[in-house]
């Protein structure tokens, strides 16, 4: 039986070494996974952190914030989309500023005309008659249309407009535009 004991002893040694080898491989794989995971997490967090910082810049109104898209993965596509959004917001902001300047000019003109006509009536330069009152009414109607347009635009910005679609005969619209090209309104 010494031979059986020797075989069993050899099997135990072999199994112990096998377990040690498997443990070493498992430990090596675990360490490699941790190192790779930490590296990947660091790489991803840097890219996401750049996106977060650029997003906060947009929130503060800095529409010049841009991201450098690296690669062809989803984060690179997100960076390109972010840049498109920033360009769109910058253009919208510039258009809004120009629009506000135009509105201020458009409101100033009828107000100046009204002021001048009222002052001329008060000073007696112009008589108080139907023609002069009609001119005042015309400028007041123009101001009212501008204010109503501003209100409609603000409702549009808020998404509070309701639309009612109905069929329109384009020939009638064109005929009306050619026959009476004056703008319609309140």
Q: What pLDDT digit, counting tens, does each position of 137-159 carry?
A: 888 888 888 888 888 877 777 76
Express as a percent the part of the chain with pLDDT over 70. Answer: 94
The predicted-structure confidence for 159-176, as pLDDT tens digits, reads as follows: 666 777 888 888 888 888
Give the residue-averaged pLDDT of 114-129.
Answer: 88
pLDDT over threshold 50, residue 185: no
Token digits of residue 121: 């009536």
C-alpha dist (Å) from residue 159 to 15, 58, 91, 149, 151: 74, 22, 20, 15, 12
* CATH code assigned to 94-186: 1.10.287.130
Query: Residue 84: which of 46, 58, 60, 61 has the closest Cα?
Result: 58
Structural domain boundaries of the chain?
94-186
Closest CA to 86 of 43, 45, 51: 51
Mean pLDDT of the chain: 86
User: pTM surpassing 0.85?
Assistant: no
Residues in the chain: 186
């Amino acid at each position: 039986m010494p031979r059986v004991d020797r075989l069993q002893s050899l099997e135990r040694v072999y199994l112990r070494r096998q377990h040690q080898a498997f443990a070493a491989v498992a430990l090596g794989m675990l360490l490699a996974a941790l190192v790779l995971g930490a590296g990947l997490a660091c790489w991803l967090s840097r890219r996401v952190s750049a996106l977060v910082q650029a997003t906060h810049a947009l929130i503060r109104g800095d529409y010049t914030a841009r991201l450098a898209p690296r690669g062809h993965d989803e984060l690179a596509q997100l960076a390109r989309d972010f840049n498109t959004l920033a360009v769109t917001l910058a253009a919208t902001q510039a258009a809004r500023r120009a629009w506000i300047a135009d509105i201020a000019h458009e409101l100033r003109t009828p107000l100046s005309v009204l002021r001048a006509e009222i002052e001329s009536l008060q000073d007696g330069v112009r008589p108080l008659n139907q023609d002069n009152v009609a001119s005042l009414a015309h400028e007041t109607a123009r101001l009212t249309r501008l204010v109503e347009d501003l209100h409609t635009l603000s409702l549009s910005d808020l998404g509070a407009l309701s639309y009612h679609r109905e069929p329109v005969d384009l020939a009638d619209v064109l005929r009306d535009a050619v026959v009476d090209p004056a703008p319609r309104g309140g």
